[in-house]
């Protein structure tokens, strides 16, 4: 059977993955076998999410009725029901569900009734609390099929420590990442000298290590010195796989969906108030604005290196009429040509325009010239992919160290 759970946490605490890790242990204590634990990230633009829009699924051998009852008990015991936005859902299905619902939940938006219809048709056991929105994530988790897979080991704190400062040795995190990158990623951000894998929220997570295989994440984990965790769980995940991306074209993008879009840069990128960088791309008559926000740090310097005429591919979520960049590919760099009025050969002063199609005129000595001064500025960017740093990376975004982006 597959057990799906979602929407048990609030900004004040708890984490659905912690609840899943505790449930896995209770199922084992009750003589069931847990074959796989899945951490399933869904559409990152869903507004109801607490943090990273995660749901979980456990693949279990045992008695479905007993498993359902244990799952419901643990949700009632651990969920933060006081928060208006916590609306848990539990699903137990003995039949595989159509992965189309997972695809919809990771790339688009779903309704509670759509999830309930699928569950009814499959004869699944399910329970939703309060407005039952958690049934969407729980159903998507049990319906999930990953064309690409990564792993994360999450360590969880003793409950007496929840809400207190996490004790994780900073140096050991950098050493760990040095030893295992690129087979692990996002433990730390070397360029910005920031720890990425330790949260700052009051939930049970101590730290999480992401990587290509259980052995690589275990090797990285063993190098980390910290307070003693209460629990550790290896999750199979769709993180770092670009599962959220759809192919898109300028002028036909939908709010809250994530795309890969091609176009030509229309004008030099501009830095706006707050340090955000913006520019537009054009595809035929349609234009789309692209944004590299301040938290994307050094990535903004890459974006500032684009010039009009560059053919690029941009990847990110379409929100408030712009694409929030996760990565870009400079497909075909344009020449960076600057055209100015020439310098007067007679008096060495810069000439000025003599009017449309009339060439240039020296305002000092009256000399005339037909030709402008054309300079080609060497490009700072070469063709290829560029991405935001680990500190700004979304859970689903595929890091370039994993190879070429998964472009749909
Ligand atoms: P955490 O990452 O800490 O577990 P969270 O960020 O996953 O928290 P939730 O508390 O699970 O946030 O809230 C997300 C809610 O949005 C859930 O009720 C889930 O069922 C719902 N949801 C997830 N994906 C979609 C979607 N594509 N369309 C509509 N609702 C969705």
pLDDT of residue 50: 79
- 288 has a pLDDT exceeding 90: yes
Residues 210 and 344 in one domain: no
- Domain membership of residue 408 (yes or no) is no
Residues 103 and 44 in one domain: yes
How many angstroms does the Cα of residue 256 sit away from the middle of ligand 1? 14
Residues 165 and 273 in one domain: no
- 391 has a pLDDT exceeding 80: yes
Ligand 1 atom closest to Cα of residue 135:
20
* Mean of pLDDT values over 243-271: 97
Q: What is the pLDDT of residues 118-139, one digit of tens each?
A: 999 999 999 999 999 999 999 9
Q: What is the pLDDT of residues 215-228, one digit of tens each?
A: 999 999 999 999 99
Residues 284 and 383 in one domain: yes
Query: Hey, what are 199's tokens?
Result: 């949260």
Residues 208 and 352 in one domain: no
pLDDT of residue 46: 95
Q: What's the rounded Cα separation, in Å, for the pair 358 and 361?
A: 9
Helix (H) or strand (E) holding 3: strand 2-6
With cut-offs at 50, 70 and 90, classify the pLDDT of residue 75.
very high
Q: What's the rounded Cα separation, in Å, for the pair 93 and 68?
A: 9
CATH of the domain at 282: 2.40.50.1010
pLDDT of residue 221: 98
Give the domain range for residue 44: 2-143
Residues 170 and 207 in one domain: yes
* Selection from 85, 9, 47, 94 nearest residue 319 by Cα: 47
- Domain membership of residue 299 (yes or no) is yes
- 404 has a pLDDT exceeding 90: no
State the average pLDDT for the chain: 96
- Domain membership of residue 304 (yes or no) is yes
Last residue of a domain, one of 98, 118, 143: 143
Residues 130 and 174 in one domain: no
The domain total for the chain is 4
How many angstroms does the Cα of residue 48 sit away from the middle of ligand 1? 6
Strands 286-292 and 322-332: parallel
Residue 76 has φ and ψ, to the nearest 5°, of -65, -35
CATH of the domain at 102: 3.30.70.2200
The neighbour count for residue 130, using CB atoms within 10 Å, is 16
pLDDT of residue 12: 86
DSSP E strand stretches across 94-243:
125-128, 150-156, 184-185, 188-189, 194-195, 205-211, 231-237
Measuring CA to CA, how many Å separate 304 from each of 220, 271, 287?
35, 8, 19
Place of tokens 């994307």: 296
- Domain membership of residue 66 (yes or no) is yes
Residues 193 and 260 in one domain: no
CB-based burial label for 96 (10 Å; 0-12, 13-18, 19+): exposed
Q: Which residues line ligand 1 (CB under 6 A)?
A: 6-7, 9, 15-16, 42-43, 46, 48-54, 87, 105, 109-110, 133-134, 136-137
CATH of the domain at 208: 3.90.600.20
- 336 has a pLDDT exceeding 80: yes
Ligand 1 atom closest to Cα of residue 51:
6
How many angstroms does the Cα of residue 121 sit away from the middle of ligand 1? 23
Residues 117 and 196 in one domain: no
Last residue of a domain, one of 184, 218, 237: 237
* Mean of pLDDT values over 57-69: 98
- Considering the entire predicted model, what is its pTM? 0.94
Last residue of a domain, one of 221, 237, 253: 237
With cut-offs at 50, 70 and 90, classify the pLDDT of residue 393.
very high
Q: Whose CA is nearest to atom 22 of ligand 1?
A: 137
Q: What is the pLDDT of residues 346-364, one digit of tens each?
A: 999 999 999 999 999 999 9
- Domain membership of residue 118 (yes or no) is yes
- 406 has a pLDDT exceeding 80: no
- 407 has a pLDDT exceeding 90: no
Region of 357 on the Ramachandran plot (φ > 0 left; ψ -120 to 50 alpha; else beta): left
Residues 327 and 384 in one domain: yes
Ligand 1 atom closest to Cα of residue 6:
11
- Tell me, rounded to whole angstroms, the distance of Cα 401 from its chain centroid: 15
Q: What is the pLDDT of residues 193-223, one digit of tens each?
A: 999 999 999 999 999 999 999 999 999 999 9
- Domain membership of residue 59 (yes or no) is yes
Residues 99 and 210 in one domain: no
DSSP E strand stretches across 138-222:
150-156, 184-185, 188-189, 194-195, 205-211
Q: What's the rounded Cα separation, in Å, for the pair 281 and 299?
A: 18
Residues 13 and 85 in one domain: yes
- 408 has a pLDDT exceeding 90: no
- Domain membership of residue 344 (yes or no) is yes
């Amino acid at each position: 059977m597959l057990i799906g759970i979602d929407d048990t946490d609030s900004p004040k605490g708890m984490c659905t993955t912690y609840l899943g890790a505790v449930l896995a242990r209770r199922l084992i204590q009750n003589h069931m076998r847990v074959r796989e634990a899945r951490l399933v990230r869904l559409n990152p633009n869903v507004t109801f999410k607490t943090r990273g829009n995660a749901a979980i699924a456990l693949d279990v051998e045992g008695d479905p009725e007993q498993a359902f009852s244990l799952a419901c008990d643990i949700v009632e015991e651990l969920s933060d029901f006081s928060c208006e936005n916590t609306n848990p859902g539990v699903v137990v299905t003995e039949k595989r569900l159509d992965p189309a619902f997972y695809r919809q939940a990771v790339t688009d938006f779903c309704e509670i009734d759509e999830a309930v219809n699928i569950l009814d048709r499959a004869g699944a056991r399910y329970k939703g609390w309060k407005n039952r929105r958690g049934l969407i994530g729980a159903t998507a988790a049990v319906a999930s099929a990953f064309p690409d897979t990564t792993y994360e080991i999450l360590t969880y704190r003793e409950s007496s420590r929840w809400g207190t400062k996490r004790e994780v040795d900073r140096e050991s995190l950098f050493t760990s990442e040095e030893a295992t990158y690129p087979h692990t990623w996002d433990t730390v951000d070397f360029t910005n000298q920031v720890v990425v894998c330790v949260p700052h929220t009051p939930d049970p997570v101590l730290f999480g290590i992401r990587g290509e295989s259980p052995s690589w994440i275990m090797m990285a984990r063993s190098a980390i010195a910290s307070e003693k965790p209460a629990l550790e769980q290896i999750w199979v995940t769709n993180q770092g796989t670009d599962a959220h991306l759809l192919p898109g074209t300028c002028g036909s993008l939908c709010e809250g969906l994530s795309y890969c879009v091609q176009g030509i840069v229309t004008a030099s990128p501009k830095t706006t108030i707050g340090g955000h960088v913006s520019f537009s791309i054009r595809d035929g008559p349609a234009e789309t604005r692209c944004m590299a926000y301040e938290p994307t740090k050094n990535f903004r310097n890459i974006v500032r290196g684009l010039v009009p005429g560059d053919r690029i591919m941009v990847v990110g979520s379409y929100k408030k009429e712009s694409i929030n960049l996760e990565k870009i590919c400079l497909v075909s760099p344009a020449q960076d040509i600057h055209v100015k009025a020439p310098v007067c050969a007679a008096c060495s002063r810069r000439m000025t325009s003599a009017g449309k199609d009339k060439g240039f005129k020296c305002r000092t000595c009256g000399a005339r010239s037909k030709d402008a001064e054309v300079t080609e500025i060497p490009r700072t960017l070469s063709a290829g992919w560029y991405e935001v740093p680990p500190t700004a990376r979304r859970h689903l975004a595929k890091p370039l160290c994993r190879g070429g982006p998964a472009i749909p």
